[in-house]
């Protein structure tokens, strides 16, 4: 983990340019951002402002065109493909809008899958999977398949899969986007509980209500950070 006083994540002058048919699209322009260990950040802004591109770079799913990304005190630019995959597996948990569960795997198997790539013993995997499913209230559904679950339940399983590996940071991309308001609030309450227990969370959202769950909101517009503000929720007991 990052040393005391050092941010877990530091972005310095991050730019991302996409080239298509001789057209340059500047998705991110000179983004500077620091995220501390244990902080809960919301990234907000209109559609097409660069939110998901920024999250993809944070999650090592994409690389910036320019600028520096320091994760847990280590520059990520020099990592090869295998090292990037290892960092994603061990230090980053992903929660997607579309859940991204594998339909022919059970709830247990979906949560266990990322752990199998670590060379972890079956007993340790079993302990971690059950603990993660207990945290999200889905331990009673271990033998069910995704199609047998509601959207809210599938997202809970997706959260369990993300936290089972004890990642340094959780990246959530519109985690309530495919849920009704009741299930959306339930998932947000779950993320807030994970944060209270020490998780570092970076969440993309288009809903101003959910920004209030975070310690800090970072607003993007046309690929630039245009505003940062402390959320009201950060001041509540």
pLDDT at 235: 43
Assigned token pair, 22: 């001789």
Query: Is there a contact between 60 and 209 (Cβ–Cβ < 8 Å)?
Result: no
CA nearest to 8, candidates 40, 31, 30, 56 = 40
pTM of the model: 0.89
Per residue in 168-210, pLDDT (tens digit) is 899 999 999 888 989 888 999 889 989 998 899 999 998 888 8
Q: How confident is the model at residue 1 (pLDDT cuts 50, 70, 90)?
A: very low
Mean per-residue pLDDT over the chain, rounded: 90
Domains (range + CATH), the chain: 39-56+81-235 (3.40.50.300)
Assigned token pair, 29: 């322009």
Query: Is there a contact between 27 and 17 (Cβ–Cβ < 8 Å)?
Result: yes
pLDDT at 110: 97
CA nearest to 210, candidates 36, 3, 41, 55 = 41
Per residue in 118-170, pLDDT (tens digit) is 888 999 999 999 999 998 999 999 999 999 999 999 999 999 999 999 898 99
pLDDT at 237: 46
- Burial of 126-159, coded b for 16+ CB within 10 Å and e otherwise, reads eebbbebbebbebbebbeebbeebeebbbbbbbb
pLDDT at 231: 64
Per residue in 22-56, pLDDT (tens digit) is 888 899 999 999 999 999 999 998 888 999 999 99
pLDDT at 99: 92
Residue 105 pLDDT > 50: yes
Distance of CA 192 to the CA centre of its chain: 13
Query: Is there a contact between 215 and 234 (Cβ–Cβ < 8 Å)?
Result: yes
**């991309």: which residue's tokens?**
173
Assigned token pair, 30: 């000179």
pLDDT at 116: 92
Q: How confident is the model at residue 230 (pLDDT cuts 50, 70, 90)?
A: confident
């Amino acid at each position: 983990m990052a040393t005391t006083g050092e941010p877990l994540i530091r972005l310095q002058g991050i730019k991302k340019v996409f080239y298509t048919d001789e057209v340059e699209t500047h998705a991110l322009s000179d983004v500077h951002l620091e995220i501390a260990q244990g902080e809960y950040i919301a990234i907000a802004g209109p559609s097409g402002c660069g939110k998901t591109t920024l999250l993809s770079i944070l999650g090592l799913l994409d690389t910036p065109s320019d600028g520096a990304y320091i994760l847990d005190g280590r520059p990520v630019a020099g990592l090869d493909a295998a090292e990037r995959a290892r960092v994603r597996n061990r230090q980053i948990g992903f929660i997607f809008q579309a859940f991204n569960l594998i339909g022919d795997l059970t709830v247990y198997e979906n949560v266990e899958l990322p752990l199998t790539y670590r060379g972890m013993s079956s007993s340790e995997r079993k302990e971690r999977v059950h603990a993660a499913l207990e945290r999200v209230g889905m331990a009673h559904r271990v033998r069910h398949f995704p199609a047998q679950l509601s959207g809210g339940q599938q997202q809970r399983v997706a959260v369990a899969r993300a936290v089972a590996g004890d990642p340094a940071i959780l990246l959530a991309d519109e985690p309530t986007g495919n849920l009704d308001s009741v299930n959306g609030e339930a998932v947000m309450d779950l993320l807030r509980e994970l944060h209270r227990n020490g998780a570092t969370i970076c969440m993309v959202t288009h809903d101003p209500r959910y920004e209030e769950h975070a310690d800090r909101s970072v607003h993007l517009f046309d690929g630039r950070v245009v505003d940062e503000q402390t959320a009201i929720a950060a001041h509540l007991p």
